[in-house]
Amino acid sequence: MLSSIFSTLFSMRFLVTIVRLATPIVFAAIGTFIAAQSGIGNIAIESIMTFAALASVLGSYLSGSAWVGVLFGIGIGIVTVMLIAFFSMKMGANAMLIMIALNTFADAVAIFVLYLVTGEKGTTASLTTPVLGSIDIPIIKDIPILGEILSGQYVLTYLCWIIVILLFIFIYKTPTGMRLRACGLNADAARTAGINVEKMRVLSLVLSGIFAALGGIYLSLNYLKIFSRGMVSGQGWMGVAANGISAGNYWILILSALIFAIFRAVSIIFSSNSAIPTDLVNAIPYLAVFAILTIVSIVNYYRVKRGHVEEQ
Amino acid sequence: KKEETPAADTPAETTPAAEDDGVTKVAVLIPHRGDQSYFDTIAGAADEVNAADNNITVDVFECDPNGEKAEANWMNWFDNVCEDHQYDLVVCGNGDYEDFLYKACEKYPDQLFFNYDYDYIPESGIPANCYSTKCNTAELGYLVGALSASITKTGTVGVVVGMDTQSMNQFISGYCQILTANDVKYVVSYPGSFSDTALGKEVTDAMIAKGADVIWQVAGGLGNGVIDACSAHDDVWCIGVDQDQYMQFKDTNPEWANTILTSALKNTGVPLKAFIQMVADGNYQDKLGKAEMWGIALDGVGLAENDFYMANTDEATRAKLAEVLASVVNGEVKVIDCLTDWNADEYAAQWPTLLAGNRVE
Amino acid sequence: MTDKNTSSKYSKEYKLSISNPKLFDAIKMAIAILIALAITFVILCLISKDPINALKTILLGPLSKRRYIGAVIESFISFAFAGLAAGVLFKAGGFNMGAEGIFIITGAVVAWIASSPVTSSPILHPILCYLGAMLVGGILMILPSFLKAKFGTNEMVVSLMLNSIYAGVTAYIVRTFIATQQRGSVSSKDYLASARIGYLYEPLRISACFILLIIVTIGLYLMMNKTKLGYQMRLAGVNPKFAEYSGVSAFRLSITTAVIAGVLCGMGSTTQLLTQTSYYTPAQSLVGIGFSGMLLSMLGKNNPIGIVIAAFFIKYLEQGAAILYFVDNAVPSEIVSIVEGIIIMLISSQYFLRRLRERQLLKEGLEEHAK
Amino acid sequence: MSETILKLDNVTKVYPNGTVANRDINMEFEKGEIHSIVGENGAGKSTLMKVIFGIERPSSGTVTYKGKETDFNSSMDAIKAGIGMVHQHFMLIPSFSIVDNIILGDEPKNGIFIDKKEAAKRCQELSDKYNFELDVNAKVSTLSVAKRQKVEILKTLYRNAELIILDEPTSVLTPQETDKLFDQLRSFKEQGHTILFISHKLEEVKKISDKISVIRNGVSKGTYLNEELTMQQLTNLIIGRDLDNDMNAYKTNEDFHGEKALQVKDLYMERNGKPVLDHMSFAVKAGEILGIAGVEGNGQQELVRCITGLEETKYTGEIDICGNVVNDLKIKGRRNLGMAYIPEDRMGDGIAGALPISDNLISTYYDREDINGKIFMDTKAIRKTSEDLVDTFAVKTKSIDTSVNSLSGGNIQKVVVAREYNTHSKFMIAEQPTHGIDIGSEEFVHHKLIEMRNAGAGILLVSANLNEVMSLSDRIIVMFDGQIAGYFPKAQEVNESELGMYMLGARHQTPEEIGGALND
Ligand SMILES: Nc1ncnc2c1ncn2[C@@H]1O[C@H](COP(=O)(O)OP(=O)(O)OP(=O)(O)O)[C@@H](O)[C@H]1O
Ligand SMILES: Nc1ncnc2c1ncn2[C@@H]1O[C@H](COP(=O)(O)OP(=O)(O)OP(=O)(O)O)[C@@H](O)[C@H]1O
Ligand SMILES: [Mg+2]
Ligand SMILES: [Mg+2]
């Protein structure tokens, strides 16, 4: 049994699984990150993913084009963050409260809409929806090991990693990215430098909404071909947690999202054997992240005690 | 084959309480629609009854959308539907809610109740104003196991079970039994969720990697992930659950439909519709206070034998299956039922052995 | 300075104008509720044949039968405890989201004690359940706060992770130690009759828990506003650096508030189980009571009394919407959540009438300055 | 050439909470002049500047810049029009480099990217042109306060500001640094820039200004030519009376039998492998003020953190407060032994801004018996205590229930000092106690410190303001590079330039001389 676990852990398929599982979590993570950069803690990712997952399928059904579906999903993502922006910036509501309310009622709202459109409350199974496919990359796909990982993945997985790189460039290399970060680091300083902080925050929220939406769209329109009630299942929260772990470091963010994916994949291995009580299998990714985070912070604590201070 | 339980007392003469205006009114309490499993089956059956021209109306109430299972909430709902005697029949069921149902039976002795899926029989017996049924999923699993065994090419099959609970395991106790007996290897996976479709897909992928080529899903919405994973492989069959999932996807998503050889039908709607009809006809008295198992013989469970299934199975397979079916119906084979055969201690002691049978880890 | 009556010099002013913050808040709240109702009405127009009656049902339905209002009273108590727990944490500036997990895992404790024949006294047995859940809740809630206070570990992430971990552990405990064979899903044995909490006034379903809630709320109110601990919480909540500078031990304070919050979760969980269930089925996934608690605490502005009122208000609304759903089956059951969401968002909005108030303040400011 | 560049007509600013910060202000500023604006804390100086700079909109009245009435929606508009502002509080992003801070909001581009090379080049050129001596690639978090001040000014120059507003730029600078800044300001003036200068240090105002405008309680008290005004007249215009500057006259010298309020022995601490406190030993006697002078960043902050118990990094040596070794105690334990502490960063460490004044006046002794009952805090006693303190310290407020952050800087500092005063402690650390507060308040705080000293408290005064150190202290220590570089047992007998030599590390006393600091 142990040997079978090991052989799975080091198999190619395992890596491919991680890449697939990572996509929505990475989307959620960069969605949280970009909002955090401008000083907004967006914890509504889970609800945005849910809305977008549904909206994209409905959009694809109504228009007959998967890409229009994607636009639909993104549109709903933007509408949701604009709702947050409206209530928190224009109406003076506590942003956190609005976001928690969104999360709390997201499933009900999604099902309500699903019901209005399809008369069902479970899935969009009754709708014919064009979906996005996967891409074979001509030459790479024939390379023995690399080909399996790099080729044949879903369209949005590629988009995800392209965005990861572009976003890095945007945040750290472009003027807008720098202004956006300034808003998060010291809003007053940004404001006095002539930056419209509110506008920057709305921009970062919109990006956040788009990325989170893509995470949801991936689930319903690319990875699977259907919207299914409750399908986001905490993957948005994993993105939020990854951002919490990153402490503002982009590559640690991505790494954290990958760790979630890795341990989700590990939990899959354990779900089909009796090594760990089944009740605890689902807790594996959370346990792993909890352990890593705790150990890192303890190590840091003793570093500071010994007089090592990170330059800010 | 019926398993009859003697009623605790002689059934009270219970008459439908509502005004006899010729319309039979039925209230069905389910937690919510959209579980893509048997609550949907129940609601679907109710809709069918409504649609038919039969002087029966069925109101379906979604009482617990968040699945909090709070007794107080359910009792409120029983109060809602029972206190004004508006309904001739009140329907509820499932192991999670049947306690509440039985309490309501006690509180409203003049009201007629129906439990469409019981997990256990109370010590005091089934209340005299209630009829309880159960679809025999152990037999269903046995049948699926038989089919899987006869069509697998690799000698390995698999099943994805949403949660590791006794009533979910009831589905696979017969499955494990027959596969072990036939020396077919099987993979059992408990992803621990009924909704996380992504997990369903990856779990299935891992199963396929272990060589499984016939994969059954008993996992609600998560099962969509299972179907999707199977559809990516030409040589892997998926077996659906609860409803005829081939028919469900045939028009809208042929790619998925074409991987669903058949579905393991848990026809909860069959006893429901039957009993509603009895109530409408007024000849339900002898069912009261009873708990009955609706197995293969009563069409409580079965495999979906649609055109696709017919086209993709050969005569020999179907004949083999008919044989198995007969042996179950005539009692030649005792299908192990981990839920109703065993008490807690027996379950704890014997289930791991049964599960481990020919399992591949 | 005249020695006669110095205190009046610095005392608060009360005037009947929107520049008076209390009055302004009340007006704002009223308008928010009106707008929320208007939006709800629009939605009802879309889905109900008789929207006016539908709205009336939502608002007044719960008052139409004693059992309805009884259901509100019965269900809002544990909900309020969740809000109070979040309120205590927030007040002290913590961001521990662990209430969810504590609610779940203390459920196992309650179920264990309630289903064991530890005593046959119908008074002692529930008390033991409470004590057990409060003890375990208090202890387990410490972990995220401890890690945060001692090592600076991200509290939010840790508590989120722990929620899922506790959910798994609870299922494991229930299955392994207190399961029953009766039910198909993993659930505990039935509680013994002695553990159930009866009603003091059955028609309105008022139980001792109601009194417990009132006592706890008043106690928390006094604690937050009149005691040293409450003072420390205020300092730390507003400026943790200043609290530290003032000699408030951040470590001790965060542990203390975590324990209080955990104890409150334990109370909430016990109340919920012993009044609303007769056996325990651990949630298969997180049910969100922790987040609902946070919502309540924000709605109630971390004020215990406000939180309890908010809890009652929300359960009242839920009941109203549920009655509507019962009488008008064409309305989807999700209407409950949707109405709730709209009202919460609008009530939390601070900026209603801001312009008007600013103009008034400006006028008063100039008048005063001229003196 | 007397070309009016900026004109204020009847500018009134009322904050949304009803505070009237400016009322009917009329002022004129000419191109190429250095024009100071003075007034008490809360007089409305910063608000007026914010109105000019477009951060706040005037409630009524007009601002005319270069002959055109302005309608700035944000500081962006002001910046575009050629106005630059250095704020009272630093508006820098510590984790950014100097370059990034300077170019923020107006970045040179290369395609869609920031042209980092070009940016660095321009910033370096600018820095060199004005002799700012900055390595523009350094992170701001590594810079001294004086350098940060320079970065703030560079920010305005980078955007070609013609009108530069400096809101209290010198409050954190040493005399030498201030002189340097003034040289630069004069050179700006020569190049045609107009400077609006705000400061509470009247000598500086007299030194640098062409014109001086006085604001009192939101209302303009007129604009004067610098030559027209004597120091005394200016003081009178601002606070309506004279100041007395000789603090030594108030000192009494009772005998406290050489009791020691604080004793520090061989204190040593490392950060990232380098010593930041290097074997320091000294003592503060009861009834004296020991001043610590030094350029900021030479270990003063770490020293204070070690003494107060706020330091997280491990240190060696012994700290002794009122006769007790306190190494293992946290700040509360040390406070209980008789320590009081006025922190440098009053906004960050000294107050809970959103809480009422009364809460802020008791924070360090909230558990004391006189304001507590058996279970509950004694609300009446707290109100009484707070009202008394507000009266004694003349905190300008309508009610003790007002939140502290609606007070002006000087009044906030009075709240902090009042609180620490009311601990009746035997040992007080006063860290930059008059930073950024007006002359009236400064005088007041100084009096209170002397009063405490006379009553037998030992006071450790840490200040970047040499005047303050010299006029208040009985003895003086100069810190350089984590060490005691010089020890002066008679504060009256040292002069500014001598201290300056030690502060800059040009001189260092022998261990024997320094040993005197321990007072054995
Ligand atoms: N109600 C108010 N009335 C007057 N001035 C205000 C008010 N609120 C804030 N200000 C001042 O206006 C400036 C901008 O305030 P704002 O709240 O927009 O910024 P912020 O607090 O830095 O934003 P954030 O909280 O999102 O980081 C601040 O300098 C603040 O002092
Ligand atoms: N954002 C704000 N909201 C409300 N009132 C404010 C705000 N900012 C300043 N005030 C008030 O306006 C008045 C003028 O404040 P301002 O900061 O302009 O004074 P100042 O002259 O710069 O004082 P200081 O010398 O202390 O810097 C004060 O009473 C202050 O409390
Ligand atoms: Mg100012
Ligand atoms: Mg100031």
Quick check: A105 contacting C, CB < 8 Å?
yes
| C164 token code pair | 């899922």
Is A230 within 8 Å of B36 when comparing Cβ atoms?
no
Which residues are CB-neighbours of D392 under 8 A, at least 6 positions away?
A: D418
- CB burial readout D409-443, b (16+ within 10 A) else e: bbbbbbbbbbbbbbbebbbbbbbbbbbbbbbbbbb
Q: Is the pLDDT of residue B4 over 70?
A: no
Query: Which residue of C lies nearest to D58 if distances are taken between CA atoms?
Result: C362
Query: Following CA atoms B209, B212, B218, B221 in sequence, which dihedral angle do they give, to the nearest 10 degrees?
Result: 40
Q: Is the CB of A279 under 6 A from ligand 1?
A: no
Q: Count Cα atoms within 13 angstroms, Cβ side, for D356.
A: 17
What domains can you pick out in chain A, each with its CATH number?
2-305 (1.10.3470)
Burial of D284 (0-12, 13-18, 19+ CB in 10 A): buried
- The average pLDDT across A57-61 equals 96
- Determine phi and psi for B57, rounding to 5 degrees: -120, 140
Question: Which residues surround the ion ligand 3 when the cut-off is CB under 5 Å?
Answer: D 46, 88
Q: Which fold has domain C70-320?
A: ABC transporter involved in vitamin B12 uptake, BtuC (1.10.3470)
Q: Is the CB of D18 under 6 A from ligand 1?
A: no
D76 C-alpha vs ligand 2 centroid, how far in Å?
Answer: 22
Is D271 within 8 Å of A178 when comparing Cβ atoms?
no
Q: Is the CB of D45 under 6 A from ligand 2?
A: yes
Quick check: C170 contacting B, CB < 8 Å?
no
| D257 token code pair | 């039998």
Q: What contacts 24+ positions apart, CB below 8 Å, involve D383-390? A: D383/C7, D383/C10, D383/D358, D384/C7, D385/D361, D385/D422, D386/C10, D386/D357, D386/D358, D386/D361, D386/D362, D387/C6, D387/C7, D387/C9, D387/C10, D389/D361, D389/D418, D389/D419, D389/D421, D389/D422, D390/C10, D390/D357, D390/D361, D390/D418
| A216 token code pair | 């949801």
Burial of D141 (0-12, 13-18, 19+ CB in 10 A): middle
| C352 token code pair | 């209603």
Which residues are CB-neighbours of B214 under 8 A, at least 6 positions away?
A: B147, B148, B151, B152, B157, B158, B236, B237, B239, B261
Quick check: C245 contacting D, CB < 8 Å?
yes
pTM, full prediction: 0.90
Quick: pLDDT tens for C199-243: 888 888 999 999 999 999 999 999 999 999 999 999 999 998 999
Quick: pLDDT tens for D232-267: 889 888 888 887 767 777 888 887 778 899 999 999
List residues bridging with A274 in a β-sheet: none
Helix-strand-coil percent breakdown of chain D, rounded to 5? 35, 25, 35
- Centre a 10 Å sphere on the Cβ of residue D71 and count the other Cβ atoms it contains: 10
Residue C348, SS3 per DSSP: coil
| B90 token code pair | 């009140």
Lowest mean pLDDT among B251-255, C165-169, D394-398: D394-398
CA torsion sign for B92, B98, B101, B102 is positive
What is the percent of chain D with per-residue pLDDT over 70, rounded to a whole number?
99
Quick check: B341 contacting C, CB < 8 Å?
no
List residues bridging with B131 in a β-sheet: B114, B290
User: Domain map of chain C by residue range?
Assistant: 21-49+330-371, 70-320
Q: From chain C, pick out residues whose CB is under 8 angstroms from the CB of D19.
A: 365
The separation between the first and the last C-alpha atoms of chain D, rounded to the nearest angstrom, is 65
Quick: pLDDT tens for B73-114: 899 999 999 998 889 999 998 888 888 999 999 999 999 999
Which of A37, A89, A191 is the pocket-test mutation for ligand 1 (most atoms within 8 Å of CB)?
A191
DSSP B8: S
Distance of alpha carbon C266 from alpha carbon C260, whole angstroms: 10
CA distances from B166 to B200, B342, C126, D199 (A): 20, 10, 29, 79
Distance of alpha carbon D227 from alpha carbon D249, whole angstroms: 31
The C-alpha R_g of chain B, in whole angstroms, comes to 20
| D12 token code pair | 């009134």
Q: Determine B/A contact with 3+ CB pairs under 8 A as the test.
A: yes
Say which CATH architecture domain D259-338+428-436+457-520 belongs to. 3-Layer(aba) Sandwich (3.40)
Is B34 within 8 Å of A231 when comparing Cβ atoms?
no
Q: Determine D/A contact with 3+ CB pairs under 8 A as the test.
A: yes
| Residue C10 confidence (pLDDT) | 56
Which amino acid does the sequence have at A54?
L
User: Domain map of chain D by residue range?
Assistant: 4-239, 259-338+428-436+457-520, 346-424
Q: Is the CB of A185 under 6 A from ligand 1?
A: no
- What is the distance in angstroms between the Cα of A84 and the nearest Cα belonging to chain C? 10
The separation between the first and the last C-alpha atoms of chain A, rounded to the nearest angstrom, is 48
Quick: pLDDT tens for C249-279: 889 999 999 999 999 999 999 999 999 888 8
Quick: pLDDT tens for B120-165: 888 889 999 999 999 999 999 999 999 999 999 999 999 999 999 8
Distance of alpha carbon B282 from alpha carbon A269, whole angstroms: 54
Q: Rounded to the nearest 10 degrees, what angle do helices A45-63 and A95-118 cross at?
A: 30
Quick: pLDDT tens for D165-183: 998 887 767 777 788 889 8
Confidence grade of residue B52 (pLDDT, cut at 50, 70, 90): confident
Distance of alpha carbon C263 from alpha carbon C222, whole angstroms: 17
- CB burial readout D83-103, b (16+ within 10 A) else e: bbbbbbebbbbbbbbbbbbbb
| Chain C residues 205-224 with a CB less than 8 Å from chain D | 222
CA torsion sign for A106, A107, A111, A112 is negative
Which residues are CB-neighbours of A216 under 8 A, at least 6 positions away?
A: A24, A48, A49, A50, A51, A52, A53, A54, A56, A73, A77, A232
Which amino acid does the sequence have at B80?
N
| B282 token code pair | 């007024």
Quick: pLDDT tens for A63-88: 999 999 999 999 999 999 999 999 99
Quick: pLDDT tens for D184-220: 889 889 988 999 999 988 888 999 999 999 999 889 9
Quick: pLDDT tens for B167-184: 899 999 999 999 999 999
Number of H-type helices and E-type strands within chain C: 15, 2
Q: Is the CB of D88 under 6 A from ligand 2?
A: yes
Is B253 within 8 Å of A226 when comparing Cβ atoms?
yes
Contact C357, C19 (CB under 8 A): yes
Contact D311, A306 (CB under 8 A): no
Contact D380, D362 (CB under 8 A): no
Q: Is the CB of A187 under 6 A from ligand 1?
A: yes
Distance of alpha carbon C188 from alpha carbon C194, whole angstroms: 16
Instruction: Identify the CA nearest to D83 among candidates D187, D169, D194, D164.
Output: D164
Is C338 within 8 Å of A112 when comparing Cβ atoms?
yes
Is B36 within 8 Å of A127 when comparing Cβ atoms?
no
The DSSP secondary structure of D21-90, one letter per residue, reads EEEEEEEEEETT-EEEEE--TTSSHHHHHHHHTTSS--SEEEEEETTEE---SSHHHHHHHTEEEE-SS-
Which residues are CB-neighbours of A9 under 8 A, at least 6 positions away?
A: A266, A269
- What is the distance in angstroms between the Cα of D9 and the nearest Cα belonging to chain C? 17
| Fold: same for D4-239 and D259-338+428-436+457-520 | yes
Altogether, the residues listed in chain A come to a count of 312
Quick check: D76 contacting A, CB < 8 Å?
yes
Q: What is the mean pLDDT of chain C?
A: 87
| Residue C309 confidence (pLDDT) | 95
Quick: pLDDT tens for A1-40: 567 777 777 778 888 899 999 999 999 999 999 999 999 9
Distance of alpha carbon A220 from alpha carbon A215, whole angstroms: 9
What's CA C79's distance to the chain center, in Å?
5
Which amino acid does the sequence have at A126?
S
Q: Tell me the residues of B at the A interface, defined by beta carbons under 8 Å apart.
A: 32-36, 40, 65, 163-164, 187-199, 201-203, 205-207, 209, 221, 224-225, 228, 248-249, 251-253, 255-256, 352, 355-356, 361
Out of C154, C294, C352, whose CB is closest to A100? C294
Q: From chain B, pick out residues whose CB is under 8 angstroms from the CB of A230.
A: 194-196, 221
User: Of ligand 1's atoms, which has the minimum distance to the CA of residue A188?
Assistant: 22
- What is the distance in angstroms between the Cα of B319 and the nearest Cα belonging to chain A? 32
Altogether, the residues listed in chain C come to a count of 371
Chains A–B, number of C-beta pairs less than 8 Å apart: 135
Interface ipTM > 0.95: no
| A230 token code pair | 């409750």
| B299 token code pair | 């069409």
Q: What is the mean pLDDT of chain A?
A: 91
Burial of C210 (0-12, 13-18, 19+ CB in 10 A): buried
Q: Is the CB of D273 under 6 A from ligand 1?
A: no
Which residues are CB-neighbours of A277 under 8 A, at least 6 positions away?
A: C172, C175, C176
Quick: pLDDT tens for A180-195: 999 999 999 998 888 9
| D444 token code pair | 């007041």
Query: Following CA atoms D127, D131, D137, D142 in sequence, which dihedral angle do they give, to the nearest 10 degrees?
Result: -130
- What is the distance in angstroms between the Cα of C331 and the nearest Cα belonging to chain B? 11
Q: What is the mean pLDDT of chain D?
A: 89
CA distances from D263 to A79, A107, D452, D457 (A): 63, 64, 19, 14
Question: Which residues surround the ion ligand 4 when the cut-off is CB under 5 Å?
Answer: D 409, 436
Say which CATH architecture domain D4-239 belongs to. 3-Layer(aba) Sandwich (3.40)
